[in-house]
Amino acid sequence: MRIVVLAGGIGGARFLRGLQRAVPDADITVIGNTGDDIHLFGLKVCPDLDTVMYTLGGGINEEQGWGRTDETFHLKEELAAYGVGPEWFGLGDRDFATHIVRTQMLSAGYPLSAVTEALCDRWKPGVRLIPMSDDRVETHVAVEIDGQRKVIHFQEYWVRLRASVPAEAVVPVGAEQAKPAPGVLEALAEADVILFPPSNPVVSIGTILAVPGIREAIADAGVPVVGLSPIISDAPVRGMADKVLAAVGVESTATAVAEHYGSGLLDGWLVDTVDASAVERVEAAGIRCRAVPLMMSDLDTAAQMAREALTLAEEVRES
Ligand code: GDP
Ligand code: CA
């Protein structure tokens, strides 16, 4: 079975680990979000690609959900001693090596997709990880600070400000001109099923869908497209997804997120059992819906979520 998954960072990566456990023989392609990418200290950092790569490759800091296990921060401390920041972005010594290799390869002329493949050669994530695009796309957020409207990098909004001010707009800068990376459209065309894990609907999956051609390829693939809600009990399970949902006028509910993707894209949607009352409304919107436990408290629960998503996909296929 060929499965394509659109993924952001933590939610996507943890779901993928469950999917691998549920269907060990499946051929899984991950289309990763690169809108979170940022240039720091002259290095190209790709937080979501790395979270997927480290999580599936066994190098992730489990408690944090991002960054390397067994990490130290000497380099960051030395930079800070020179007064060189930003101090708010956590880059550890081990993690730095990834960004140095990536930047070196990019400078030598390799596209990001080839660089990602090379990095995965070490980590062996067990999936084919492709960035959504080789072109630069950077998510920016419009905010009002001290009465002044400013546009800041997504990481500054998310990590430095912890989304503490309302996001007035979320813009994937460069997306309109970006082309899907080699292999993205091919993987979608050859997929047996396409999954949206419980990743951020705006700044993870929304950014991937903003690359021209990707949304169309999913809608035209003619195979079941099934998503899992990152919202449980009207709140994100982790993080501040409600802040960026508000920016695009979407309520922080499992139903509203399904309706935001819409029946033109989604065939099936899983909500948590506590949101069972949402099923009827999602189905009224033309999306087949089931309520199942959606808390990824461990690998087994994530695997069970993946099984439920694939079961729903088969129901959709047979209908
Ligand atoms: P990020 O790039 O690290 O922010 O990660 P993603 O975009 O992949 O996923 C973030 C989303 O995952 C957040 O909106 C969370 O609500 C959601 N999430 C995290 N853990 C869980 C979980 O255990 N269950 C569900 N349903 N959603 C989760
Ligand atoms: Ca992210």
Instruction: Read off the CATH number of the domain in which 55 is found.
Output: 3.40.50.10680
- Beta bridge partners, 4, equal 29, 194
Q: Which of 170, 178, 100 is nearest to 139 (CA)?
A: 170
Tokens matching residue 186: 């091919």
- For residues 81 and 159, state if they share a domain: no
Residues 77, 20 share a domain: yes
Centre of ligand 1 to C-alpha 254, Å, is 13
pLDDT at 53: 98
Give the pLDDT of residue 241: 96
Q: In terms of domains, do 94 and 144 share one? A: no
Residue 124 in contact with ligand 1 by CB distance below 6 A: no
CA of 203 to the centre of ligand 2 (A): 7
Q: What local confidence, expressed as pLDDT, does residue 60 receive?
A: 98
The amino acid at residue 255 is: T
Query: Is 172 inside any structural domain?
Result: no
The answer to whether 262 touches 281, Cβ cutoff 8 Å, is no
> Is residue 41, in this structure, part of any structural domain at all?
yes
| Ligand 1 pocket, mutate which of 51, 200, 208 (most atoms under 8 A from CB) | 200
Per-residue pLDDT of the chain (319 residues; tens, 9 = 90+): 999 999 999 999 999 999 999 999 999 999 999 999 999 999 999 999 999 999 999 999 999 999 999 999 999 999 999 999 999 999 999 999 999 999 999 999 999 999 999 999 999 999 999 999 999 999 999 999 999 999 999 999 999 999 999 999 999 999 999 999 999 999 999 999 999 999 999 999 999 999 999 999 999 999 999 999 999 999 999 999 999 999 999 999 999 999 999 999 999 999 999 999 999 999 999 999 999 999 999 999 999 999 999 999 999 999 9
228: left (phi over 0), alpha (psi -120 to 50) or beta: beta
**DSSP code of residue 42:** T
Q: What is the pLDDT of residue 298?
A: 96
* CB of 165 closer than 6 angstroms to any ligand 1 atom: no
Give the nearest ligand 1 atom to 235 CA. 16
Same domain, 260 and 307: yes
| 129, 227: one domain | yes
Q: How far apart are the CA of 231 and the centre of ligand 1, in A?
A: 8
Indicate whether 152 and 221 sit together in one domain: no
Angle of helix 112-123 relative to helix 93-107, nearest 10 degrees, comes to 140
pTM of this structure:
0.98
Domain span at 159: 139-167
- Pocket of ligand 1 contains residue 235 by CB under 6 Å: no
In a domain, 15, yes or no: yes
Is-contact 99 76, C-beta < 8 A? no
250 and 313 in one domain? yes
Same domain, 81 and 123: yes
Q: How many domains does the chain have?
A: 2
Beta partners for residue 236, in sequence order:
231
Q: Residue 171: what pLDDT?
A: 97
Residue nearest to atom 20 of ligand 1 (CA): 11
What is the end-to-end Cα distance of the chain in Å, rounded?
19
Amino acid at 298: D
State how far the alpha carbon of 214 is from the alpha carbons of 5, 157, 263, in Å. 12, 26, 16
Same domain, 155 and 93: no
Q: Whose CA is nearest to atom 19 of ligand 1?
A: 11
Q: Flag whether 50 is marked binding.
A: yes
Domain co-membership, 234 together with 255: yes
Residues 230 and 293 in one domain: yes
